Structure 1
Amino acid sequence: MSKSLLLLFVAVFCINCSSDNKESDTPPTEEPLYFPPLTGTTWKTKSVESLDWNKAAVQPLLDYLKLKNTKGFIILVNGQIVMENYFNGHDAATNWYWASAGKTLTSAMTGIAQQENLININNKVSQYIGTGWTSTPIDKENLITCKNLLTMTSGLNDATDDVTPSALTYTADAGTRWAYHNVYVKLQDVVAAASRQTWSAYFNTKLRDKIGMDGSWFASGNNSVYYSTTRSMARFGLLMYNKGKWNDDVILNESYFNEATNTSQNINLGYGYLWWLNGKASYHLPQSQASFQGSIIPTGPNDMFMALGKNDQKIYIVPSKKMVVIRMGEAADNVNLALSDFDKTLWTKISALYQ
């Protein structure tokens, strides 16, 4: 081989090596977060295999969901549907109730009303709906702010779910006691009064229609309960995963979102603004003044925040895994509380997918 030909060969070899190194050094382009269209049934999907998840863990999860009276179940990763399954006569078009998981809708709407300068959550509730909404002494009633309702620290008697004035009696000064209570629904009255619209009309315009949800509010005793399809619950979960933005549309500002999904008071560390928070040092449960050490769902990711409703209606949001998980259905067990051992076992089976 001539000297000139040898030099040419070496030069080409070096160029190819340099090109290969540049390609290997270039980080992969991160897949953009997906949002489904506002109308229609189109929703982009992603397979378990494409995520390198454990396919063998899928069937045990589905078997458990069916056994535990599930009706609708969805896992989103980066906005795309990875699993969507229906059981026990339910389907994608069937509406189901959110129960107390819908408290997070009220939280979001309160934040929206504040960003529109209609309310300030630090103001007393009576500023918006008038005095006499409780039967406590007026000086005690005036201690109760909208933020106290968001954080379950109103100080009102929690022995009943009745929210008529006669039932809302004094137990402690606002802000000094955490107790799970239906009195949060007074925030819906606050928003309606401040917006000069019905609660449903304001909700539909400012949230539901902007993210393509379906569903409606229905009166249930002293409460207002939302019904929708499982996919609509997933849409709301996706909005909150993205810190209140739908595509580039800011529905709920990030400042309020951050307040809502972090510890909101120093009594129950596992509670934000009507959101449950995993991975905290301690937590309280509904109908209890006891403090429990450790994470609410020890088998679940520490950064998970949750909407939890009676009979195991669930929205789990896990930023570190880019995941939103939805479960609708009947009560998994005889215990019908928002939190039960069902959550722990379910997350053992979900985490088996990706561990």
Structure 2
Amino acid sequence: MTRTICTILTILAFAACSSDPTEPTTTPTESMYFPPLTGNTWETKTIADLKWNQTAVQPLLDYLALKHSKSFIILINGRIVLENYFNGHSATTNWYWASAGKTLTSTVTGIAQQENLLNINNKVSQYIGTGWTSETPTQENLITCKNLLTMTSGLDDTTDDVDPASLIYKADAGKRWAYHNVYVKLQDVVAKASGQTWENYFNTKLRDKIGMNGNWVQIGNNSVYTSTSRSMARFGLLMLNKGKWDTTQILNETYFNEATTTSQNINLGYGYLWWLNGQANYHLPQSQLTFQGSIIPNGPSDMFMALGKNDQKIYVVPGKKMVIIRMGDAADDVNLALSDFDKTLWDKINALYQ
């Protein structure tokens, strides 16, 4: 009996020490790396260092090239594992973030709140004045900054125009989730609350503090950010580290946690302008349908994402200490932020460490 018990205990101990072969291999005690704010220095790790599957790299790169990608980066613990450029793009070329840049607006709104310049629970009109919509004063006063962060303004989403004549009542704020360009009004809120231009406040409080390059470009009614792929990776790294860049807390962790968890009970896959994987259900842009299950079923369940038109991507995976960047043209003949491209891409990424 004693020998049997010892055998069972030995088996259990071995099982407890065994690692999941599908998980990327990282050194548990390895520190998070942050590249210098200036220059091109950036530490790397190799596929061999991580004991990943080298034979899976080329199929991934071939797929990315086939699907009109411009750049692709994988960071583990802040270190570059893969960095590849395609179709005439380079490390010094700027490219647009499209709606992936909504997360920049979310982050800077949080910074302004922690500086006591605004409160996201306050109504938008408190900062930019009344009459910014075509709603009645009572309806308009229901819309808070948080409603803009969570896409629950209740405004008609059939147009991306954000002039007052186009911002028409559809439902009371907080009662309907609809993907809408009206979030850009948060940039006006931050500008008014800070007494600075949006771009100046953004550059001072976020861009320059983590060594990004880039600038905001006005395209129609939308303010779109453009930068190098490494600058996008820097932002992803900041968010992987819960708003902290090395020893400097740029965005407080309380707001970070709010931004990257379900923000309302209509679309469980949405935080503060961040998409959330691994939830029980989700909505897609331009749809009122509820889809069951995870947004990217074969992607990590703890992943949160910045997603933009023509497949601009920031995937942040805390459990794997991973950031993934993809910039480029639309992978397929669609222009959506979410598409089948995500699923196939994650099949290729998963093959790296399975």
Quickly name the TM-score band, shorter chain normalised. over 0.9
Provide the identity percentage. Answer: 79
- Report what 2:323 is aligned to: 324
Q: CA deviation at 1:354?
A: 1.1
> Which residue number corresponds to residue 110 of structure 2?
111
Partner Cα separation in structure 1 for residue 334 and residue 28 of structure 2: 46
Q: Counterpart in 1 of 2:216?
A: 217
Matched residue type, 2:294: S
Whole-angstrom distance in 2 between the partners of 1:313 and 1:89: 17
Q: AA paired with 1:46?
A: K
1:9 paired residue number: none
- Which residue is equivalent to 1:261? 260
Aligned twin of 1:135: 134
State the Cα deviation string for residues 230-259 of structure 1 (Å, max 9, x = none).
Answer: 000000000000000000101000000000
Aligned residue in 2 for 1:282: 281
| Structure 2 partner of 1:43 | 42
Q: Residue 230 and residue 29 in structure 1: after superposition, are their counterparts in 2 closer, same or farther (change >3 A)?
A: closer
Matching of residue 245 in structure 1 with residue 244 in structure 2 = yes
Runs of 4+ in 1 over 4 A off after TM superposition: none
The residue number in structure 1 matching 2:308 is 309
| TM-score normalised by length of structure 1 | 0.92
The answer as to 2:334 corresponding to 1:335 is yes
Structure 1 residue 29 displacement after superposition = 6.4
What is the CA deviation profile of residues 254-290 of structure 1, one whole-angstrom value per residue up to 9, with x for unaligned ones? 0000000000000000000000000000000000000
Find the aligned partners of 1:341 and 1:347 in 2 and give their Cα distance. Answer: 10
Map of 2:7 onto structure 1: none
SS at match of 2:305: strand
Return the letter of the residue paired with 2:159.
T
Measure how far apart 1:103 and its partner are.
0.1
- Give ranges in structure 1 of 5+ residues lacking alignment: 1-27
2:24 match = none
The CA distance in 2 between the partners of 1:329 and 1:337, in whole Å, is 13
Question: How do 1:66-105 residues align onto structure 2 when only pairs under 5 Å count?
Answer: 66-105=65-104
Three-state SS of the structure 1 residue aligned to 2:170 is coil
Offset of residue 299 of structure 1: 1.1
- Residues in 1 aligned to 2:181 and 2:260: alpha-carbon distance in whole angstroms: 20
Q: CA deviation at 1:120?
A: 0.2
How many residues get paired?
A: 328
Q: SS of 2:90's equivalent?
A: coil
User: In 1, distance between residues paired with 2:321 and 2:110?
Assistant: 24
Task: Mark the CA change 1:142 to 1:29 in structure 2 (over 3 Å): closer, same or farther.
Answer: closer
Q: TM-score, normalised by structure 2?
A: 0.92
Structure 2 residue matching 1:111: 3-state secondary structure: helix
1:67 shift after superposition: 0.1
Query: Counterpart of 1:234?
Result: 233
For the residues of structure 1 that align with 2:281 and 2:334, how far apart are their CA atoms?
A: 22
Other-structure match for 1:193: 192
Tell me the distance in 2 between the aligned counterparts of 1:300 and 1:145. Answer: 33
